[in-house]
Structure formats: structure tokens, C-alpha cells
Amino acid sequence: MQPSKGWSPLDLADLWRFRELAFFLTWRDIKVRYKQTLLGASWAVLQPLLQMFIFNFLFGSLANLPTDGIPRPIFTFAALLPWNLFSNALNEASRSLVSNRNMITKVYFPKLLIPVSAVMSGIVDFSIAFVILVGMMVAYSVKLTAAVWALPGFLLLALMAALGVGLWLAAWNLHFRDVKYLLPFLSQFWMLASPIAYPLSNIPAQWQMVYALNPMVGVVEGFRWALLGGEVFPSMAVGLSLVVSFAFLVSGLFYFRRLERTFADTV
């Protein structure tokens, strides 16, 4: 081994060698998530449900924003699921390096595993909440369409976006703990800038392109489209989301790799 400079290759072979560790880290994050809480995993259901009630009240009863003709509870809940998946993943990933500093300074392994497993562990919460959504869809007799097969694709897109941004933030967080204070604000702002309480169609047409640069626009709209059915596939939003998420992911990976060698010294 010797000093290295500049950009490094991603070294995917190394990642593959440590795949079991990735599995164990994810498994750990899932296991400890609701340890020593009274309600345990019910939080995975309660959180989006409570959010949904608040949103319905604020944006439905008070502001009366449109929902494209979908029953409001389902309209909101179906958007909250991918959003929560994204925002939890982003939060966990950004904090993951600092909270695992002990491992970083004591053992060698590809550090990329840490944010990756932090992102993956959110899938369990999502799955639990998804069961509730299915129940609600039955209750409101919303019929499934053939597009439902596209759901996993949108999930993947949400995780990709979260990991991409999370990698940047996680690496920054090691040097500048400002990230910790930035995060709550960022997620709040980001949520309002995503079509959760309102549909994309509510945005003036000439601004939709700009608006859809937010990768979560494509994810949320796509998610609704796949689940609740819509006449038109939000191709512009999804396409932009793909491009932006991918750009975040690739740049994040390389940036992360570049800073990786300094992690143990700065954490």
C-alpha cells in the first residue's frame, strides 16, 4: 500500500468480496431500529399514517389543494411511502459514517458499505407501510392496473437518489458536522418541493421541467401512476428523475471514493 492521490476507481470487486458484511450491516440496522421502543415496528405504520392525517387536514380541509380526482387519503399516503423511504434513507446514509466511526478507525473494509446498508435498511419500513396502503386501496376500492409492475422500478429510483445525495452528505458530514443541522431543513424543504400534498399538474406547465429536476418528482408521480393508475405516464418527470438520480449516484460514488482514504483520519 502506498499514498494515493486524486480520483480512485470504484473497485467493485472489493465491494463484492465484502458482500456478506453488507448483508450483516443492513441486518443490524434493521434489527436495532426499533429496539427499546414501546410500539416497535408499528412506528413504520404510525409515522406515515399520522403524516397523512396532518396533510389531509392542512392541504385538504384548509387549503383544499386538488388531488387529480383520487381519494385524498390514498393520494397522500401513496406519495408519503416513497417519500419516507427516500428521506429516511437519505438521513440514515448521511449520518451513517459518523455513527459508525468506531468501525472506520479500527478495521479495513470498503466504507461504501456503510451508507449502502443504511439505505437498504429502510426497505423494511416501507414494506410494512405498504401493507397498510394495500388495505386502504381495498377499502376505497381502487383497482390495480397493469402498471403496478413498474413499482419496484420507482422504489429503486428513490433509493438511487437517496444514496446519491446521501453519499455526498455522508462524506461531508465527516469533515463538517454542519450536515447534521442542514439535514432536517433540507428534508422539510425537499418534501414541500415534491408533489406529495398536491399533484404535478398543479405546477404551471412552463415550470414543470424545472420542478421535475427534483428527482423525487418523478419517483412520487411514477409511484402514483403505477399504483393508482393515471391516463398518462409522467414520462418527462420520470426521465429527468432517472438522469438526475444517476448523476448524483455516479458523482457521489466517485466523490466518496476520493475522500474515503481520509475518513479514518478525520472522523
Kindly list the residues in this chain that would bind another protein in the complex (CB under 8 A): 1-4, 20-21, 23-25, 27-28, 31-32, 35-36, 102-109, 171-172, 174-176, 255, 259, 261-262, 264-266
Give the residue with the Cβ less far from another protein, 168 or 225: 168
Minimum gap (Å) between residue 170 Cβ and another protein = 12
CA angle, 68 then 72 then 75, to 5°: 70
Minimum gap (Å) between residue 261 Cβ and another protein = 5
Length of the chain in terms of residues written:
267
The SS3 of residue 177 is coil
Minimum gap (Å) between residue 29 Cβ and another protein = 9
Give the residue with the Cβ less far from another protein, 175 or 180: 175
Minimum gap (Å) between residue 267 Cβ and another protein = 11
Give the residue with the Cβ less far from another protein, 39 or 134: 39
Task: Tell me which residue has cell 463484492.
Answer: 16
Give the residue with the Cβ less far from another protein, 42 or 262: 262
What's the DSSP call for residue 218? Answer: H
Say what the alpha-carbon torsion angle 215, 256, 173, 86 is, to the nearest 10 degrees: 30
Say what the alpha-carbon torsion angle 118, 120, 125, 130 is, to the nearest 10 degrees: 150
